[in-house]
Amino acid sequence: MILLCGIPSESPLALVGEALDSICAPYLWFNQRHFASSDMAFDIDERGITGWLEIDGQGVPLESVTGVYSRLMEHAKLPELRGQAADSPARRHCDALHDTLGRWTEISPARVVNRVAPMGSNSSKPYQAQLIRQHGFEVPASLITTDAHEVLAFRDQHKKIIYKSISGVRSIVQAFDDADLGRLASLRWCPTQFQQYVPGTDVRVHVVDDEVYATRIESEAVDYRYAKKQVGEPARLSAMELDDDVAERCVALTRGLGLVFSGIDLKFAPDGRIYCFEVNPCPGFSYFELNSGQPIALVVARHLAMAD
């Protein structure tokens, strides 16, 4: 049995559900919005990890769950909890249910795509960049500083630089230009990340276990995800083949980060170097699948089903 966790209408989850249907793999929805009619318990003892999950009156032993695809949204923001006091029975049950599910997925012997702890590397871009570097990819020269003079020297060295958040919050890449000079004084109170601008072709690589799908992205925007806002037209996506060596490094990087499924952002620079900007541990792949025709959801579904 495969468990899909989140809100079924969310695009990546919906696509994986459809893919599981197409290969006739049995699955069960853990619909967060139905928390009121869901219950869960698990035990850790000499038998290992056992337990029970009940959803809308249907119960399954946790030992029968062999695959989990989780895209849980922040449950405190569920519409069903709107207006509920912090200590209301509904909110407390929702908290306890998600806590129980979260703890079980971290230790469950099932194939979990992905467990929460390994996803944490994405919460610090320079931390993750140090891990990425170990897998043979270039990472852009980066400076995190509270000092304006260091920023100006960094710009002199690299000519064109960008700035972006260090964490995963407000993660929008912006070009640094003269209009930003007046704001450098405020660096003193929060170190800020600057990076060399790397020209070239953006490539998103989705890795599922040892399968690799690469998508070329063409856009004039500094951050293609916001291409329409930044340059007035959306990015153009197309499937592409990677050299075996690059594909193998993408698989090794994904495994090295403790992930099964990843979305890797590469840039193929004109000088032949391949830079890796980040590894997204919970990729919203539907944008790429729907624009490139690559069967990413099907590969995720097959991976989950193979454990059965």
Partner 1 sequence: MWLVLCETHDAAASWAYSSLRARGLAPLEILSAEQLALSEFQEHRLDGPRSTLRLRTESGLQVDGQRLGGVLNRLWTVPIGHWRQAGEADRNYVQQELFAFFLSWLHALPCPVLNRPTPQGLCGQWRQESEWAWLARQAGLPVAAYRQTSRDTVDESRGERRLVPAGATVHTAIVVGARVVGAAIPSAIADACVRLSALARTPLLGVDFVQSPDGWRFAGASPTPDLRLGGEPLVDALMHELRQSERAAA
Cβ proximity to partner 1: between 82 and 170 the closer is: 170
DSSP 17-85: HHHHHHTT--EEEEEGGGGGGEEEEEEEETTEEEEEEEETTEEEEGGG--EEEE----GGG-GGGTT--
Can you tell me whether residue 196 is helix, strand or coil?
strand
For residue 117, the minimal CB distance to partner 1 (Å) is 6
Query: Could you tell me which residues come within 8 angstroms of residue 269 by beta carbon, excluding any fewer than 6 positions away?
Result: 138, 198, 199, 200, 275
Footprint of partner 1 (CB under 8 A): 38-46, 49, 92-93, 95-97, 99-100, 103-104, 106-107, 117, 120-121, 123-127, 129-130, 133, 139, 141-147, 150, 165-170, 188-191
Cβ proximity to partner 1: between 257 and 301 the closer is: 257
Instruction: Measure Cα distances from 144 to 136, 165, 291, 304 in Å.
Output: 23, 10, 35, 40
Cβ proximity to partner 1: between 111 and 125 the closer is: 125
Cβ proximity to partner 1: between 106 and 241 the closer is: 106
Quick check: 94 and 136 in contact, CB under 8 A?
no
For residue 126, the minimal CB distance to partner 1 (Å) is 4
Cβ proximity to partner 1: between 145 and 291 the closer is: 145
Determine the angle formed by the axes of helices 11-22 and 296-306, rounding to 10 degrees: 60
For residue 230, the minimal CB distance to partner 1 (Å) is 21
Cβ proximity to partner 1: between 45 and 178 the closer is: 45
For residue 81, the minimal CB distance to partner 1 (Å) is 15
For residue 46, the minimal CB distance to partner 1 (Å) is 8
CA distance 129 to 65: 34
Rounded-to-5 percentages of helix, strand, coil across the chain = 40, 30, 30
For residue 154, the minimal CB distance to partner 1 (Å) is 9
Cβ proximity to partner 1: between 88 and 146 the closer is: 146
For residue 124, the minimal CB distance to partner 1 (Å) is 4
CA distance 216 to 279: 16
CB atoms within 10 A of CB 22: 12
Quick check: 33 and 80 in contact, CB under 8 A?
yes
